[in-house]
Structures are given as C-alpha cells and as structure tokens.
Homo-oligomer: A and B are copies of this chain.
C-alpha cells in the first residue's frame, strides 16, 4: 500500500548517510513526498480547509458571526489545552519510537543468533557428522525467515523457507501451526543430536533459547499496541484542536487562515501519523534485507569455515 511504501525503512550505507547529513537535502521541499504523506490524512486536511473557508465566508457575509467571534477570546482556552496536547504528542512520539527501536534491536539479536549458532555448530559439531553440520546451517538460515513470516502479513513460513530447507524438512515444518516453535525445536534437537560435552551443548542451546525469546519479543510488540485509550484520546483532541483552530486564527490571519490552518494541521497530524505508522515496527523495518544479509553471512561461514593458518585443528 502507499503507506507501507512511504514509511518502509531502507538499509543505509555510506552514501545515504552523506546525503542525509547534507542540510540542503534535509531541508529540501519535496512536493511529491509531501502529497503522498498527506494522502494518509487527506480528509482531515480537507475538513480543516473547509472549516477555514466557512469561517471566512461567515465572517465576511454574516456581521453577527463576526461580532460573536470577536467577543470570543479563544486564545485562553487554546492556551489551556495546548500543554495537554503537547504532552500527548510527546508521549505518542516517544512510545512509538521506543517500540520501533526495540523491534530493531530484536532483529539485531536475530542476526547475532544466526551468526553465533552457525559458527559454534561448525566449530563444535563432529566432522564425522556432515549431515548434522549441513542441517544446522540450513535451519539457522531458515529460522529468521520463518520468524519474519510469523509477524508479517502476506508471507508464509513454508514459502519463505522453501529453497533453504529440504523437502523433507519443509513437510516436517508444515506440521507446526506456530512455525517458529517448530524451528526452535529443530535447532535444539540438532544440537542435542551432536553428542557434545554438556557444557558446550548448553552454550549452543542458549542460542536456541535466544531465538525463542526473540520470537516471543516480536509477538509481544505485535500483539500489544500502546493502550488504545491513549491513542484515541490523542487523535480525537488533536482533531478537535486543528478543526477549531480556524476560529482562533481568523481574527489574526484573516483570509490567510485557510493556508495557515492547513499548514498547522499538517504539522500536528503528521507528527501523530508517523508515530502511529512506526508503532508496529515489523511492517516498516527492512526485514527482508536483514534476512538476506544474514543468509549471505551464514553461507559465507559455511563455505569459508576453516581454521586460520595459525591454528591447526585440534587433534
């Protein structure tokens, strides 16, 4: 959808950062992007515009309205309301951002899991069990994709894991309704089957536990939004604020009010809207890019895995 496209994060590189840090880029007006962002709450903006124009027309053609509005010093109630609205917007922004960043941290841990599990499995699994070694690599590459499918709409665990797991493994996985639970079981059973010293097995099982916990973390953020009572209270008062603002603005800015009111509404509704979009982080974070990069790492570990020249393999 347009919103997903607009808010989906990209993976940054050096060139992106350079452009981003250049003030000319940041402060540039981009009308197309502007319009696409506004598309998310175009009806709200139109409503503000219509109210502004109505206030203007009433003011011009209905002298009694003019007198009534003059008698109403609206700056007092607006001032009394501003601080509470400000607090609600700050709360919305900070909470959404924390959730988004926590989502990103969880996926950073998924990457760490993939690398550590693969490295330790290749290091400790006995060389005489190449089947187990290959299976560990396959499941380490598939597990993040299975988790992705678990929390992202339109993706299926089997679809994502196809091409990574074998057919037999795919049909085994199909037997699980909660696919990450199955992936965790497979990762754990492979380690249990490798016959490691209990201490080393425990270390590898901790990686499996990490994967399970990260799946739990994703579900926690996905299933529990910020208490909706806050969100509704914020959205409605914000709407009331921007819709009644033309009444206050008219005596100050006259026929510039329609423009001024829409600019103010776009600022405030925009802040709130970005907050709501990033509140569920998994539909905006670049999870596919993260999975692809991790899979490349795991493949590289598999193919390049060899002791460095200075460390002959232990006897």
Contacts and interface: CB of A to CB of B under 8 A. Distances in A.
Contact of A310 (B6, B190, B192): B190
Nearest to A253: B72
Interface in A192-247: 192-195, 197-203, 205-206, 208-209, 212-213, 216-217, 219-220, 222-233, 235-240, 245
B311 A229 contact: no
A108 B89 CA distance: 27
Nearest to A83: B86
Interface string A90-128: 110111010010001100110110011001100110000
A241 to B, nearest CB: 9
List the 8 closest pairs (A to B, CB-CB), nearest first. A135-B310, A198-B199, A73-B252, A26-B235, A23-B41, A76-B252, A108-B220, A168-B309
A201 to B, nearest CB: 7
B6 A21 contact: no
B23 A193 contact: no
A288 interface: no
A274 B169 contact: no
Contact of A87 (B202, B216, B271): B271
Nearest to A40: B23
14 contacts: A9-B224, A73-B251, A81-B267, A86-B87, A90-B91, A95-B97, A108-B220, A119-B185, A166-B309, A168-B309, A172-B306, A175-B304, A192-B311, A203-B206
Nearest to A278: B227
Copies of this chain: 5
Contact of A297 (B72, B87, B124, B178): B178
Contacts of A233: 267, 270-271, 274
Contact of A249 (B7, B76, B271): B76
Give the bracket for the number of chain A residues in contact with chain B: 35 or more
B200 A26 contact: no
Contacts of A91: 90, 93-94, 97
A263 interface: yes
A200 B201 contact: yes
Contacts of A267: 81, 84-85, 233, 237
Nearest to A187: B308
A274 B233 CA distance: 9
Given A182-B304, A198-B200, A313 B193 contact: yes
Contacts of A276: 20-21, 23, 26
A65 interface: no
Contact of A77 (B108, B186, B264): B264
B153 A33 contact: no
A50 interface: no
A75 to B, nearest CB: 7
Given A72-B252, A81-B267, A271-B87, A229 B6 contact: yes
